[in-house]
Structures are given as structure tokens and as C-alpha cells.
């Protein structure tokens, strides 16, 4: 007698939200693991589509420390890939997973997407 197993399909809808650390779990936020990937896609859009070569990225100090840590840091990888016009500036007034892009004149570059505004 032969027993066969049923094939299990992998889940197609993966939930990548986490509980909000600021409001002690009353809300949800986007996954912090994917945050640097989001930043890199924004930098790619900024450099390749909008043709901005020099800009500064203002992020929370913890995120800035993570981006700048190590000899081969994320900042160095981004500079090698997108050019040396990237500055990472820590800002206390930003929330943990919040970021703002500024050009060389100090004007904010609007990088919000439609699903982030809602």
C-alpha cells in the first residue's frame, strides 16, 4: 500500500507589518527589515529617474548609525552604486522609520508615493 501526501501551496499573501513601537502596539507600521530596501529604491528613483546627483537623506539617528556602520557600510555601497553625492544626516525630529530627502539648496524633495499618502 502506498500513501501519498497532498501538496501544500506556499502562502501568496505575506504580512510584513509590525506593531507600532511608538504607540505601544495600538497600531501597525511597515516592516523595519524592509526599510533599507525602501530607501535604496527611493535613491535609485532619485538618481536615475529624477537625475538628482547630490542630495542629503535625513533619518532617525538609530537608522543613520545602522546605515553608516562598518567599513563596507550601506552608505558606501550606495555611494559606489549611485555616486558620491549622498549624505546621511541624523535628525532627532524624525520618527524611527521616517525619512526626508533634501537637495543641495536645502529644499525638500517630495518622494511620497500614492499608497503612503493614504
Could you state, in order of their start, the residue ranges of all structural domains in the chain?
A: 35-117
The pTM is what? 0.74
What CATH architecture is 35-117? 2-Layer Sandwich (3.30)
Q: Give tens-digit pLDDT for 62-109.
A: 999 999 999 999 999 999 999 999 999 999 999 888 999 999 999 999
The closest alpha carbon to 102, from 56, 49, 60, 51, belongs to: 56
Residues in the chain, overall count: 118
Task: Indicate the average pLDDT of the chain.
Answer: 84
Are the C-beta atoms of 52 and 21 separated by less than 8 Å? Answer: no
Question: Which range is least confidently modeled, 14-18, 82-86, 113-117?
Answer: 113-117
CA distance 55 to 63: 17
Amino acid at each position: 500500500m502506498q500513501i501519498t501526501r497532498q501538496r501544500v501551496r506556499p502562502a501568496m499573501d505575506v504580512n510584513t507589518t509590525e506593531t507600532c513601537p511608538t504607540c505601544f502596539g495600538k497600531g501597525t507600521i511597515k516592516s523595519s527589515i524592509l526599510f533599507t530596501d525602501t530607501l535604496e529604491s527611493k535613491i535609485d528613483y532619485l538618481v536615475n529617474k529624477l537625475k538628482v546627483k547630490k542630495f542629503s537623506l535625513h533619518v532617525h539617528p538609530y537608522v543613520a548609525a545602522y546605515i553608516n556602520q562598518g567599513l563596507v557600510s550601506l552608505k558606501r555601497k550606495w555611494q559606489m552604486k549611485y555616486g558620491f553625492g549622498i549624505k546621511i544626516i541624523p535628525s532627532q525630529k524624525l520618527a524611527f522609520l521616517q525619512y526626508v530627502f533634501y537637495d543641495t539648496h536645502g529644499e525638500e524633495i517630495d518622494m511620497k508615493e500614492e499608497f503612503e499618502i493614504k
